[in-house]
A = this chain, B = another copy of it.
Amino acid sequence: MVAAYENDSWIRVIHPVIQPPTLKDNTGDVDRLLKGIKKALQTEEVKMDFSLINRVPFILRENEYDVRSVLYRGGDSWHLVDLYPSHMDDTIYGLSVDLGTSTVVVRLLDLITKETKDESSFQNPQIEMGPDILTRIHFASQEGGLERLQGLLMDRLNEEIGILSKRNDINASSISGMSVAGNTTMVHLFLGLNPYWICREPYIPVINRPDLIKSSKLGVKINPESPVMVLPNVGSYFGGDLMAGILASGMHHQKETSILVDVGTNAEVVLGNRDWLMACAGAAGPALEGGVASMGMMAGPGVIDKLLIEPSSGEFQIRTIENKPPVGICGSGMIDLLAQLFLAGMIDLRGKYVGNRCRGRLREIDGIKHLVVVSSQDSATGEELTLSQADIDALLRSKAAMYTILTTITRMINVSMDEISHFYVAGTFGSYVDPRSAITIGMIPDLPLETYKSLGNTSLKGASMALLSASARDEVYQIRDRITYIELNVNQEFMNLFSAAKFIPHTDRSLFPSVQAWLPK
């Protein structure tokens, strides 16, 4: 699915042939070096930052004009990152970063072999100042707030770069490039750009397409002259993480029409093919990411990520992450749970508990019905893990929002669901979701199961691709320029669709023939 990118690195190591000076050839050291580099790269434009110039004569002379150089291509020019004695190790590294609101994932790449050398992640330390985008934008508008948010992230990122360097026994100065994909606000905070206008009508980012920026200007502690590529955004609510996702999916190359969905706090949807790309974002509700349901949480050890209700006995078979005693349930587990409850007849098509089918599992707490998913004996906490009617209602609103967005975007451009050849699910969340369960609750359309494909962390994948290949990098900008962003118009028609989609799987059952087949006869 990922297009095969030829070996077209935009960050390279070369060994230029440099003639030592003579009385007959008195070319300056810098010009001499640039001449060798231009010849090696067969280019006319090579630029060198002024800060590197004074080092050139020393390193050339110390190594008898036998050096290797690291360069990157930006615009129509190649730019020198560094010079090394030619006897040194040739390996250079890069970092690709998925800059999440909650979690930052850093991948260490070998820029020569293009292999992943290591990967690690950490909680975005800006969480301390606010868990979500809006609180951080608000914090940034306070005196010194923006600097604080950027500093927190940069310090933590630099710490992680130190850890990765040490663990892999490499010098941070051999890290010669970085790519960063994140939502528009996270990218603004990373760059130290004021996000004030992002959340205010008409929702304008400071910048859509940042140029390559030198790491030293941002304070990222890798080679100071190395380029940082920040993936471009289409607007305040459609960020570089999605551009990375489209790149990673390869949908922009395919003749057939695909859908890409990234479910987080927002559900971001891209529909398109090699001829056109449409994007749309809407609130999917936090229920899918944990936090709303009393037992909902992010994926982690002991978290229920899969659940099956034995049709005959009504027994709950659960799978937890790392097979630890259950502590809670994550989004994908919740979707399974809801689907299983529906198939077992324990909730009706409105999502309401059916008392006589739930047997002894129902409790009433503060006047609200709760279903015991894990008994206090079996749970890691010693307390019952329950799902309340309110939790279900929240999840139904989320799934209805998702389905309505999908319906709306396909209707807008007159594409029927049948025409969707691939349905890509991006994000860590997506990798755990069982499409059959998601179809059962009517969250996603009733397409053949093989249409669905989970792509994992496409933000990181796309960022890595853009760092490793010039054509992949170019494609990111082409994707950005091609994409049409549709602002969701929450009008009466949308609300009607939304109301119809709050049922399980939908008021119009004919849209979900498979679910009819899966229901016990």
Contact = CB atoms under 8 A, between A and B. Distances in A.
A103 interface: no
Nearest to A146: B54
Contact of A485 (B21, B26, B48): B26
Majority secondary structure of chain A interface residues (helix, strand, loop or mixed): loop
Contacts of A192: 54
A28 B75 contact: no
A235 B26 contact: yes
B57 A26 contact: no
B487 A206 contact: no
A125 to B, nearest CB: 22
A307 B248 CA distance: 85
A235 to B, nearest CB: 4
Contacts of A485: 26
Interface string A176-217: 000000000000000111101100011111111111010001
A206 B53 contact: yes
A42 B327 CA distance: 62
Given A75-B45, A217-B50, A206 B29 contact: yes
A47 interface: yes
A1 interface: no
B211 A47 contact: yes
Interface residues of A, number: 47
B201 A57 contact: no
Copies of this polypeptide in the complex: 2
Nearest to A234: B26
A321 interface: no
Most chain B Cβ neighbours within 10 Å, of A21, A28, A31: A28
A298 interface: no
Contact of A208 (B28, B205, B208, B211): B28
A194 B57 CA distance: 9
A31 B209 contact: yes
Interface string A11-55: 000000000011111111111000000000000010110110110
Contacts of A233: 28
A57 B206 contact: yes
A191 B29 CA distance: 15
Interface in A468-516: 485, 487
A74 to B, nearest CB: 10
B53 A193 contact: yes
A169 interface: no
Contact of A30 (B196, B207, B217): B207
A233 B26 CA distance: 11
A56 interface: yes
Contacts of A211: 47-48, 50
B202 A23 contact: yes
Nearest to A29: B206
A217 B485 CA distance: 40
A157 to B, nearest CB: 17
A22 B202 contact: yes
Nearest to A31: B208
9 contacts: A29-B206, A29-B207, A31-B208, A48-B211, A50-B217, A51-B217, A56-B206, A57-B196, A75-B76
